[in-house]
Structure formats: C-alpha cells, structure tokens
C-alpha cells in the first residue's frame, strides 16, 4: 500500500466529479435547496383540518362553538345534518364531526352535564390525535366563556409548569433541517462512491488500473477518501450556512465532535456504496438496489420517527446500521449539547461498523475483479 497512490487516484476522482455537472448539481441541491425547502415544508401539527358540525341545538352557544373553528388549524366547518354524518365520514370528506345534542345550552345551564359527541376518523393519524385535543380545547374554552360560571376557588390549583428542553418552542424545523442534512450524508456518500465505481467499470478503466502497480485496497481507499471528503465538506458548509445562518437553528453542542462522527459514518456509507456497486454490476441495477437499501436505512434509523416506538426486533436489527448510531450521536451533540463523555458508545459502534463494512466491501470488490 502506498499513500501516494491513494492520494493521486483520489485526486483523479475529484477531477472526474468536477466534470460531472449532474452529480455536482445533485450535491449542491441536496445540501442547500433540499435542506431548506424540506425544513420549511414540515407540516404543522394541524393544518386546514376538515370538520363538520351537526348542530341539533341551534342555540347561541352552539353557534358560538361553530364559529370558533378558525383557519389555519381548521377549514370553515361544514354544517350538516345528523343523517349526512356517516356517509361523509365514510367518504373521508371530514376528519372530525362534532355533534351538539338538542337542548345543549339549556341542559348546561340547568347543570344536567350534557354530552357533546366528537367523531374522529382515526384512519387519519396525523390529524386525529392532536386534532381531537384541539377540538376539545376549543369547545371547553367556548363553553367556559359562555357559562362564565363562578369558578369555585376552593379547588386547589396545582399548576403544571411544562417546559421543553433543547427546543423550547418545539420548532419542527430545527429537527427536520438537521435530519435532512444527515439523510443526505448517507444518500450522497452511497451514490457518489457507487457511481464512481460503476462508471469506472463501464468504461473499462478498472481493468486498466489493475495492470498498474496498484492494489484493490488502494483503488477503493482512493474512492472512499475522495467522495467522503466531498460529502464531508458539503455537510459542514450546509450545517454552517444553511442550517445555522439561513434557517437560524441553534446548535447546542460541538460541531467539531459532530463532524468527527460524520467522518466515521462517511467511511461506513462510502464502503456501503462500493459494496452495492459490486453487487449491482450496472448503473440501473444500482439504482434499484439503492431504493431497497436507502429507504429502510433512513426511515428505520430514528431520523423520521422515534426509535423507541419501533418494535424491539427492528430496534435490534437497526443497531447494525451505521445510520442509527450516527443519528443518536447527532441528536445528542447538536440538540442536547452532549460531549464525548456521553456519545463515546456511538463512536465505538460507528468505528466497528465502519471497519466491518470496509472489510466486507473490499472483499466483494476484490472478488468482482476476477
């Protein structure tokens, strides 16, 4: 093994990348526009939820309730009859249907504890759960405002001072922007190294390299460092300029520590790119494999939904994926300001997974050259 060879071959890869406008465009797009727009586009918890109201009371109170569902959380409520309700919910026209019973207002004043029925289409998970909370809140507020009842001051007031740490406003964008950067790290590392190897093989230049005094290790290491470096730099720039400067997301912990983790992850991801490319043989097959590999990696690693709500078996399987550890590490460092004393287990995991993947890819690469 000669470092000079690895260096020169890597420079060649970088020159090749410079002349490939499509890949360059993809890199720039993924780390700028894609991060920005996807972070901005994260839907708020409740947006334009369609609601219908069956007003069997037709009292000032029931009208007051109906008028209190406002944009942007709700669409203007559709006033329907009790008979229409089921059909409309079956067709999925509305997610919520609020049924105000006859004599609601008078029963309330009479202290008869009337019951309002709220029907929720629970097949719409995104709106159903948080939305029903909103609806209940709105109705309670309106009823309380109407009754203006003499609040019994003997009820103890036990306040709950609820604070969210690390992201006090629970700003979705903070989370989405950084996770997008991280997903792009994996995607681009795999695509860049994979296509670099396949292009080389399709042009017959691999054979050419092998008659020179070069080892497969040198050829692979050159691709890993060069493509890894490109993604590394792009990640750093994206984090500083797009996430911190443009999206104004505060980063709690040390970027240096995070980038050290990113470097380890890149080693694993680029090795995976090589392994996929040796398996696939041609560019289209690589594209298909990519779909089957990248999606599980990104979705099941904890970047989209919390790890702990996945089945135990999946959590265990995903421990073998570098993404899982990279995301744990990134969340700890970037959001919670954790130091190395906290994230060292992730570093250990990443190191061993990277080493394993690299060795596996090298083996596959050697075999594919036969």
Partner 1 sequence: MRPEAKSTPAEPTYVARLTDVGHSYGKTQAIAGISLDLPSGRMIGLIGPDGVGKSSLLSLISGARQVQTGEVEVLGGDMRSAHHRDRTCPAIAYMPQGLGKNLYPTLSVFENADFFARLFGQGREEREYRIATLLKRTGLSGFEDRPAGKLSGGMKQKLGLCCALIHDPDLLILDEPTTGVDPLSRRQFWSLVDDIRRERPAMSVIVATAYMEEAARFDWLAVMDAGKVLATGTPREILVHTGAATLDDAFIALMPQERRATHKAIALHPPADFDAADFAIEAEGLTMRFGDFTAVDDVSFRIRRGEIFGFLGSNGCGKSTTMKMLTGLLPASGGTAKLFGKTVDPKDMEVRRRVGYMSQAFSLYTELTVRQNLDLHARLFQLPADTISARIAEMGRRFELMDVMEALPEGLPLGVRQRLSLAVALIHSPEVLILDEPTSGVDPIARDQLWAALIELSRKDRVTIFISTHFMNEAERCDRISLMHAGKVLVSDTPDAIRKTRYATTLEEAFIAYLEDAIGETAASSAPASSTADDGGKFTATRRHRAFDLRRIWSYSLRETLEIRRDPIRATLALIGSVILMFVIGYGINMDVKDLTFAVLDRDDTVASRDYVASIAGSRYFIEQPPLADYADLDRRMRDGTLKLAIEIPAGFAEHVARGHDVEIGAWIDGAMPQRAETTRGYVQGMHAHWLSQKAREIYGDAANGQFSIETRFRYNPGIESLVAMVPAVIPLLLLLIPAMLAALSVVREKELGSIVNFYVTPVTRLEFLLGKQLPYLALGMMNAVLLWLFAVLVFQVPFTGSLAAFATAALLYVAFATAFGLLVSTFMSSQIAAIFGTTLMTIIPAVQFAGMIDPVSSLQGIGAVIGRIYPTTYFNIISRGTFSKGLGFDSLIEAFLPLILAAPLLIAASAFFLKKQAR
Tell which positions 62-121 bind partner 1, by CB under 8 A: 75, 87, 89-95, 104, 107-108, 111, 113-121
Contacting residue, 3, 21, 83, 159, with partner 1 by CB under 8 A: 159
Minimal distance, residue 205 CB to partner 1, in Å: 5
Contacting residue, 33, 144, 245, 348, with partner 1 by CB under 8 A: 144
Nearer to partner 1, 281 or 356 (CB): 281
Contacting residue, 19, 21, 83, 256, with partner 1 by CB under 8 A: 19
Contacting residue, 28, 32, 45, 347, with partner 1 by CB under 8 A: 45
Separation CA 42–CA 126 (nearest Å): 13
Q: Which stretch binds partner 1 (CB under 8 A): 158-166, 226-234, 264-272, 356-364?
A: 158-166
Evaluate whether 174 touches 167 at the Cβ level (below 8 Å): yes
208 binds partner 1, rule: CB under 8 A: yes
For strand 51-55 and strand 78-80, is the pairing parallel, antiparallel, or unpaired? parallel
Minimal distance, residue 82 CB to partner 1, in Å: 14
Nearer to partner 1, 80 or 267 (CB): 80
Give the number of residues in contact with partner 1, rule: CB under 8 A. 122
Instruction: Map the footprint of partner 1 across residues 329-368, applying CB under 8 A.
Output: 331-332, 335-338, 342
Give φ, ψ of 74 to 5 degrees.
Answer: -125, 150
Give φ, ψ of 177 to 5 degrees.
Answer: -65, -50
- What angle, 0 to 180 degrees and rounded to 10, lies between the N-to-C axes of helices 340-368 and 255-280? 20
Evaluate whether 252 touches 336 at the Cβ level (below 8 Å): yes
Give φ, ψ of 55 to 5 degrees.
Answer: -100, 95
Evaluate whether 192 touches 234 at the Cβ level (below 8 Å): no
Q: Which residues have C-beta within 8 Å of that of residue 34, sequence separation ≥ 6?
A: 180, 184
Nearer to partner 1, 158 or 256 (CB): 158
Separation CA 55–CA 98 (nearest Å): 8
Contacting residue, 31, 36, 50, 182, with partner 1 by CB under 8 A: 50
Nearer to partner 1, 127 or 361 (CB): 127
Among 269, 189, 156, 254, residue whose Cα is nearest residue 26: 189
CA contacts within 13 A on the Cβ side of 218: 18
Instruction: Map the footprint of partner 1 across residues 227-246, applying CB under 8 A.
Output: none
Nearer to partner 1, 60 or 284 (CB): 284
Contacting residue, 30, 59, 62, 127, with partner 1 by CB under 8 A: 127
Q: Is 148 exposed, middle or buried (CB count within 10 Å of its CB: 0-12, 13-18, 19+)?
A: exposed
Strand order in the sheet with 51-55: 78-80, 51-55, 96-100
Minimal distance, residue 281 CB to partner 1, in Å: 9
Separation CA 291–CA 314 (nearest Å): 19
Q: Which stretch binds partner 1 (CB under 8 A): 204-212, 223-231, 261-269, 353-361?
A: 204-212
Contacting residue, 3, 21, 83, 165, with partner 1 by CB under 8 A: 165
Nearer to partner 1, 134 or 358 (CB): 134
Q: What is the DSSP letter of 252?
A: -
Contacting residue, 143, 243, 257, 353, with partner 1 by CB under 8 A: 143
Separation CA 259–CA 263 (nearest Å): 6
Nearer to partner 1, 222 or 267 (CB): 222
3 binds partner 1, rule: CB under 8 A: no
């Amino acid at each position: 093994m000669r470092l000079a060879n690895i260096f020169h071959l890597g420079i060649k890869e970088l020159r090749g990348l410079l002349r490939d406008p499509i890949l360059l465009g993809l890199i720039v797009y993924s780390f700028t526009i894609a991060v920005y727009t996807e972070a901005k586009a994260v839907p708020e918890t409740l947006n334009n939820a369609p609601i219908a109201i069956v007003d069997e009371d037709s009292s000032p109170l029931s009208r007051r309730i109906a008028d209190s569902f406002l944009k942007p959380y709700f669409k203007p409520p559709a006033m329907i009859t009790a008979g229409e309700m089921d059909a409309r919910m079956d067709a999925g026209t509305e997610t919520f249907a609020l049924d105000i019973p006859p004599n609601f207002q008078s029963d309330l004043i009479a202290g008869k504890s009337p019951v309002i029925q709220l029907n929720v289409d629970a097949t719409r998970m995104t709106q159903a759960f948080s939305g029903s909370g909103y609806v209940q809140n709105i109705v309670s507020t309106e009823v309380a405002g109407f009754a203006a009842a003499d609040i019994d001051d003997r009820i103890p007031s036990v306040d709950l001072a609820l604070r969210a740490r690390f992201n006090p406003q629970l700003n979705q964008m903070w989370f989405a922007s950084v996770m997008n950067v991280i997903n792009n790290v994996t995607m681009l590392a795999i695509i860049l190294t994979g296509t670099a190897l396949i292009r080389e093989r399709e042009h017959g230049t691999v054979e050419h390299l092998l008659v020179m005094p070069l080892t497969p290790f040198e050829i692979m290491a050159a691709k890993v460092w060069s493509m890894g470096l490109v993604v590394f730099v792009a990640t750093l720039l994206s984090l500083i300029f797009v996430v911190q400067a443009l999206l104004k997301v505060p980063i709690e912990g040390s970027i240096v520590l995070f980038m050290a983790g990113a470097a380890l992850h890149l080693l694993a991801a680029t090795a995976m790119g090589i392994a996929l490319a040796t398996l696939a043989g041609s560019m289209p097959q690589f594209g298909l494999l990519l779909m089957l590999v990248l999606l599980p990696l990104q979705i099941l690693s904890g970047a989209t939904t919390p790890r702990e709500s996945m089945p135990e078996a999946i959590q265990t399987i995903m421990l073998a994926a570098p993404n899982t550890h990279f995301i744990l590490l990134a969340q700890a460092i970037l959001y919670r300001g954790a130091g190395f004393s906290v994230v060292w287990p992730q570093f250990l995991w990443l190191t061993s997974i990277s080493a394993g993947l690299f060795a596996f890819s090298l083996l596959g690469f050697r075999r594919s050259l036969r």
